[in-house]
Amino acid sequence: MTTTLTPPRTHPLRRGLTSFVRARETSILLALILVIVAATAVNPNFIFSSDGWRDLLLTPSILILVAIGQAIVIITRSVDLSVGSVLGLTAYLTGRLFIDIPGIPIVAVFLAGIVFGGLLGLINGALVAFARVPALVITLGTLYAYRGINVLWAGSDRINASDMPKDFLALGTGSLLGIPLLTIIALVVLAAAGWYMRNTRGGREFYAIGSEPAAAELYGLKVTRRILIAFVACGALAGLAGVLYAARYGTINSQAGSGFELDAVGAAVIGGVAIFGGSGTVWGAALGAALLLTINRALPILGVPDFWQRAVVGALIIGAIVLDRILALRQTRKLLEERDDTHE
């Protein structure tokens, strides 16, 4: 009679703690905390004041929404450079709806912004999926095309806060239990997107497509459909961000949203979403957005000149890409070693 020894089981709590410590998102969270602590040590009002705490939560909210959509697209091994233009175009649409249709329900405006953004994302996705042209080229083109439409539509006109209902503008400034409403909306969207990407077949297929598109297609995955869904989701979230941008800032012109595309890509990459696709989480992208904008707020307080502020952000992005590449090579080497050991 032989006795089989089974390895002792690790306690679920310990297993979860180990996973948390090793997660890439944890290092981003620690970096965010360090930046906050450093800025607060120099100027306690950075966080220990009503405005400081509010700004800390409120400032990244809109970028978090855009970064979530960008992360989904990047995970499928694509990129959407048009999100800033989609945001700006939707923000202007929001103002025009309130002006041109007096009394329009706020819910209808939100739905219109999300659907409009989704349609613009669908155009991007269709061009990428069916024309077989790299997403970088396609979305660079639509970045200028959508911005051109916005400039043509808005011209030199500007929509002011007085053109929009007070109840709508209150969404951009109001809070619930000390937490800004925009932050609550961003967290709800983040939780929904994070759950979908982790727990559903569709979410897992995004990762499979990003890891190896050709293999995913041979396996029978509907690659074209998933790419379309990823771009539609990205556009819809940029559209939602555009509506909230109008509520947050109240003033909208043809240049609204400029630069958001680079911030969104930077947030996703800093947050651990591999630029080559197939890995990363929307949680990491959200933390990357928070870190990016918190650094922008903290560096002037720390006395860092404007040039070095931009250099620090650039260094973070380059460092994140290099780290992803190193980790990918290490993982490949480990798999090869395991295969060689198995053959021996």
Query: What sign has the CA pseudo-torsion 331, 334, 339, 340?
Result: positive
pLDDT for the residue 131: 82
Residue 55, class by beta-carbon neighbours within 10 Å (0-12 exposed, 13-18 middle, 19+ buried)? middle
pLDDT for the residue 119: 96
pLDDT for the residue 17: 58
pLDDT for the residue 223: 83
Question: Which residue, chain included where needed, has tokens 């297609």?
Answer: 217
Q: In whole angstroms, how far apart are CA 30 and each of 100, 111, 188?
A: 47, 36, 23
Distance of CA 169 to the CA centre of its chain: 23
pLDDT for the residue 91: 93
Q: Which domains are delineated in the chain? A: 49-328 (1.10.3470)
Give Dmax over CA atoms of the chain in angstroms. 88
pLDDT for the residue 11: 59
pLDDT along the chain (344 residues), means of 10: 54 59 75 85 81 85 94 92 93 91 92 95 92 88 92 85 88 86 93 92 87 77 88 95 92 86 88 82 91 85 75 75 69 59 57
Give the residue from 338, 320, 339, 215 showing the smallest Cα distance to 276: 320
Number of Cβ atoms within 10 Å of the Cβ of 251: 13
Question: Which residue, chain included where needed, has tokens 């922008």?
Answer: 296
Round to whole Å and give the CA distance between 165 and 101. 12
Please say whether the beta carbons of 324 and 270 come within 8 A.
no
Residue 26, class by beta-carbon neighbours within 10 Å (0-12 exposed, 13-18 middle, 19+ buried)? middle
pLDDT for the residue 186: 94
Round to whole Å and give the CA distance between 128 and 132. 5
pTM: 0.86
| 3-state SS string for the chain | CCCCCCCCCCCHHHHHHHHHHHCHHHHHHHHHHHHHHHHHHHCHHHCCCHHHHHHHHHCCHHHHHHHHHHHHHHHCCCCCCCHHHHHHHHHHHHHHHHHHCCCCCHHHHHHHHHHHHHHHHHHHHHHHHHHCCCHHHHHHHHHHHHHHHHHHHHCCCCECHHHCCHHHHHHHHCEECCEEHHHHHHHHHHHHHHHHHHHCHHHHHHHHHHHCHHHHHHHCCCHHHHHHHHHHHHHHHHHHHHHHHHHHHCCECCCCCCCHHHHHHHHHHHCCCCCCCCCCCHHHHHHHHHHHHHHHHHHHHCCCCHHHHHHHHHHHHHHHHHHHHHHHHHHHHHHHHHHHHHHC
Q: Which tokens belong to 130?
A: 């069916």
